[in-house]
Chain A
Amino acid sequence: MNRQELTVMADQAKTKHHHFSKKVCVCCGTSCMASNAEKVLEQVQQNIDALGLKDEVEANLTGCMGLCNQGPLVKVLPDHTIYQKVEPEEVGDLLKAQFVDKQPKKDKLLFADTRPEPFVNANDDPFFKKQHKIILKNCGVINPEDIEEYIAYDGYKAFDKALNSMMPEDVIAEIKHSRLRGRGGAGYPTGMKWETVYKYVNNQKYVVCNGDEGDPGAFMNRSVLEGNPHSVLEGMMIAGYAVGASRGYAYIRGEYRLAIKRFETALKQAKKLGLLGKNILGSNFSFEVEIRIGAGAFVCGEETALIASIEGKRGTPSPRPPYPAECGLWGKPTLINNVETYANIAPIILNGGEWFSETGTAKSAGTKVFALAGKIKYSGLIEVPMGTSLREIVFDIGGGIPGDGEFKAAQTGGPSGGCIPEQHLDVGMDYESLMSLGSIMGSGGLIVMDKSSDMVDVARFFMEFCMDESCGKCAPCRVGTRMMHDLLQRIVDGKGTQHDVDRLQELAVYVKEASLCGLGGSAPNPLLSTLRHFPEEYANRLVSPEVLIHQHLEL
């Protein structure tokens, strides 16, 4: 395929889709699929035929719309009417009411069971109103298994622009200008990372996509890979062109069957069109991408462990320096970014870095996808500008705590993050603010806890996770997490003393500073942040040594 053919194809695809005045999108993400979305889609297609609307209404499977526990979801465009919990047998009535009677069925509208007045246009709903979508813009709109539709929505236009009208230096300058930071959690400036890899002279460089999302309760990367795999692939291709790499690897978590399948389909389609392979779009740039499937180790999300895993070795981290940018996959300069980082690239190239940097805060530009979970009314996947306050996310978008519960804390960054208490609800969600509260942005997991949560037990739970997931290579993490877990268990069991808390404090700082990689380096965060923000919960649990001895003697 050359440039002209791509343009022709985009035009044809656009005409094809514009031919329809309405579009019915059936969410076929993992969660909706689990609640029978495929049957719903089948019924939608059959009923459109039956109603004789074949020439007006298009029906498609799409990726995640963000509200996983309201599924299966059916969205009608351009009205943005969303129906929730759609059963296959209800589809007929629903479509008839929508298209023939022009009276949307009120009782099936999104949040019909929880909001007194559900919105016919879902974009008016507070859940969507405060969101700002860049990464998830086409997620839930386009068919993730159809490259044509992606191209119709300006897909591969950014790649074409980069390849044909920009030098690699220009691409990097644009990314730097956008102030995009790594979405994997650490927030390293993406443009600087690209520049470093670009500057190393080597006949072979690699681009790696980290899709080994492992935080409990996090599903941002999964949804992007399932809902818009081509956007990630396009980001990787632009990165390959910018840093001078000819091969890419997408490392996807093994449990993400659907994401792997959809990304595989995306690769095949791109290859067939000649968007991957040799001399892409008539240029002298060649690029291939392969998938590597993770085998279920949390630590493989750490970049050096991920690289070892791709090489076929035991997934354990190695000390840095040297950084992967200098000596990565098979000893070659390697660019490694998160799924979400790559998904940001095409919009930046298309609209310019300036446009991107207008969203968010001065130090953290753009948007961030969060997976809202826990004790919250409307859980799901949201995308908000950086700096949006935690209060807005929890109460405006998430609808607050269900029942008569009260907000207690929000855990960001999964097992590597910390708990943010009520008095800091107005904190803006950006890298620095979260860091100053002893938490981290992480990849975007956000677990809300109400007053029924026991913070010592929360700390113990996350420590258990880190203890199990420690690779066992370095002593501080291997033994330290186990010791901290055992001490926390003692306090939870009501057998802890002040001495145990002191030892925990000392061990936590030690493990944080002495560990080899980021897993150990951040494992004590839940413990340290709960100690800092909820000291009374620890104090209330402690017993004096005398009582302990007494109990022991009585036994």
Chain B
Amino acid sequence: MPVITVYINGQKISTESGVTILEVCKANNIPMLTLCHLKGLHDIGACRLCLVEIEGVNRLLSGCTTQVADNMMIRTDTDRIKRYQRITVELFFAERNHVCAVCVANGNCELQQAGYAVGLDHIRYPFLYPECNVDTSHPWFVMDHNRCIMCTRCVRVCTQVEGAGNWGVMNRGHDVRIISDFNTPWGESSTCTDCGKCVHACPTGAIWPKAVAQGQLTKYPEMIGELVEKRKLLQ
């Protein structure tokens, strides 16, 4: 791959071409907020936290899906980007019923970390309090839709890494829900292999093992990326 030069927040960086803005930022210790991104899965640019400004492009692009080009002038730290990141995190919190104090993922939650990162002290929008189910039908795991942020990392890990295709998405707009098979209880799934990758892929306390109590959940999402790399070596 040819080496190209990009400028991120004014910093001159040499990188190989064919990589995304997010990858370049990570390699150069430039902080970039993400929620729907998980190494090892195809990026979809859905959470919009990694938005960047690029000189000459009249709209904001997601860093996880946009490849770098030679002499690209990228900004990740403008006031506008920071303001939008804060609104996005606020909307995530207001959308469903996120109560950190009673959550298994408390202290180990990517949404919570994003909240700290944007300096969230209160939420300016009315909470929507939607009615959400908690699916406890699986013998080992729980799916709590109250804490889901629709990053679809579980859907992608199940399809792209495990190959089972248990998880899917139904409905539209604010009614979207993650579903098991054709919207049947997870415990009755005919496709789920009980592998537990979705538990680790989930950034919040939406999918968790039954054996943990409040604030006790530890996840290892990096495992997914490592697994993908290991499989490549085996091929």
Contact = CB atoms under 8 A, between A and B. Distances in A.
Given A475-B91, A479-B91, A514-B51, A319 B174 contact: no
Interface residues of B, number: 36
Contacts of A515: 48
Contacts of B66: 319, 321
Nearest to A500: B126
A438 B171 CA distance: 31
Contacts of B60: 513-514
A473 B44 contact: yes
A215 B51 CA distance: 29
Chain A: number of interface residues, binned into ranges? 20 to 34
Nearest to B91: A479
A510 interface: yes
A491 to B, nearest CB: 13
A435 to B, nearest CB: 12
Given A474-B45, A474-B48, A516-B48, A482 B174 contact: yes
A482 B173 contact: yes
A173 interface: no
Interface stretch (A116-124, A399-407, A464-472): A464-472
A35 interface: no
B125 interface: yes
Contacts of A437: none
Nearest to B92: A475
Nearest to A516: B45
Nearest to A476: B48
A425 to B, nearest CB: 29
Contacts of B59: 513, 521
Contacts of A473: 44, 46, 150
Contacts of B173: 467-472, 478, 481-482
A291 interface: no
Contacts of B121: none
Interface in B41-92: 44-48, 51, 59-62, 65-67, 80, 83-84, 87-88, 91-92
A318 interface: yes
A473 B175 CA distance: 11
A483 B169 contact: no
Interface centre among A468, A482, A521, by most B CB within 10 Å?
A482
Contact of B88 (A481, A503, A514, A521): A514
A477 to B, nearest CB: 8
Contacts of A507: 87
B60 to A, nearest CB: 6
B87 to A, nearest CB: 5
B172 A297 contact: yes
Contacts of A474: 45-48
Contacts of A468: 172-173
Interface of A: 297, 299, 314, 318-319, 321, 467-476, 478-483, 486, 503, 506-507, 510, 513-516, 521
Top-9 shortest CB links A-B: A472-B176, A319-B45, A479-B91, A470-B173, A319-B65, A482-B174, A479-B95, A474-B46, A514-B48
12 contacts: A469-B172, A474-B48, A475-B47, A475-B48, A475-B91, A476-B88, A478-B173, A478-B174, A479-B174, A483-B94, A513-B84, A514-B51
Given A469-B172, A475-B48, A507-B87, 17 more contacts: A318-B44, A318-B65, A319-B45, A467-B173, A468-B172, A472-B169, A472-B171, A472-B175, A474-B47, A475-B92, A479-B94, A479-B174, A486-B126, A514-B48, A514-B60, A514-B84, A516-B62
